[in-house]
Amino acid sequence: MTDPPHRRTDAPHRETDPPHVEFIGPPGAGKSAIHRRLIENPRYYGELYEDAVERLLVAESGRRYRLAYRLLPSLVTSPLETLFVQTPVQRRMFAAFVAERPAFSNALYRARQAATHDPDQVVSLLQYAAERYQLGVSTVRPDETLCLDEGFMMGAVSVLWRSEGDQTRFSIDEYLEDVPTPKTLVHVTAPTEVCLRRQRERDELVSETHDMGAVEAAQRRHEDACSRVLDAAAERESITTVTVANTAALEDVVGEVERVLE
């Protein structure tokens, strides 16, 4: 079910960063479903936003704040959380990330220049990845492995997918120099027709949602983008890559991923 891990020469990595895992895969391959099931295991920390923010608030404000926050009615906490918790936390996490990795601005600039379709969305996706990564590494525990569903590697896929025409406009190698790279990259695949069927079943054809033209062509371009990012990651000694075919029972596929991570 899995291909052998690949290795390469070297990739810059901050020694203070805990090793983390990222997932990539085309729409409908099932990477998010695998990620959700994987993080049910307490060994793997999915950095679900609510859990991470609660950990952060408890660490900074103590248990009394958490109890008061939980006791407030949900209709009250929802707008309050957005105004007083979510937005400030997102801004603080992004500011901390950029302060520690100023080269990230280069990645944002090059990604925006490369994207011929919806470049502002590309920047938003990469900023989102930075915020979630920083929140994840700030709240992960020593006995957990941080696992990101929408991380920097998927950000690179998004840039390539939105870059029609000259694919050399975006250098994956340069991008990987400017972002944190995972210790393990899990590439989830499934046949094109299976991916499209899954998208239709949930009424979420990504190519139509993003106005990317013919469905099959857009899907194959996404698959090609994933393969290009996987190949670039496989050239780096610091990243172990593995490809998982999501065509069996979900429990079996998740078990295969767990064996790889162990």
| Within a domain: 124 | yes
Residue 66: band (very low, low, confident or very high) from pLDDT cuts 50, 70, 90: low
User: pLDDT tens, 232-262?
Assistant: 999 999 999 999 999 999 999 999 999 999 8
Instruction: State the total domains in the chain.
Output: 1
| Within a domain: 53 | no
- Mean local confidence (pLDDT), 179-202: 94
| Within a domain: 210 | yes
State how far the Cα of 69 lies from the Cα of 56, in Å rounded to an integer. 13
Higher pLDDT, residue 5 or 185:
185
| Within a domain: 125 | yes
| Within a domain: 1 | no
183: which residues sit within 8 A by CB, 6+ positions away? 19, 20, 21, 238, 239, 240
pLDDT over 80 at 132, yes or no: yes
Q: Which domain holds residue 203?
A: 20-46+104-261
From the CA atom positions of the chain, what is the Rg in Å? 19
State how far the Cα of 113 lies from the Cα of 186, in Å rounded to an integer. 28
State how far the Cα of 156 lies from the Cα of 246, in Å rounded to an integer. 22
Q: Which tokens go with 154?
A: 């998927």
| Within a domain: 13 | no
pLDDT over 60 at 116, yes or no: yes
Average pLDDT, the chain: 84
- The H or E element that residue 244 is part of is strand 240-245
| Within a domain: 129 | yes
| Within a domain: 74 | no
Give the CATH number of the domain where residue 225 resides.
3.40.50.300
pTM over 0.75: yes
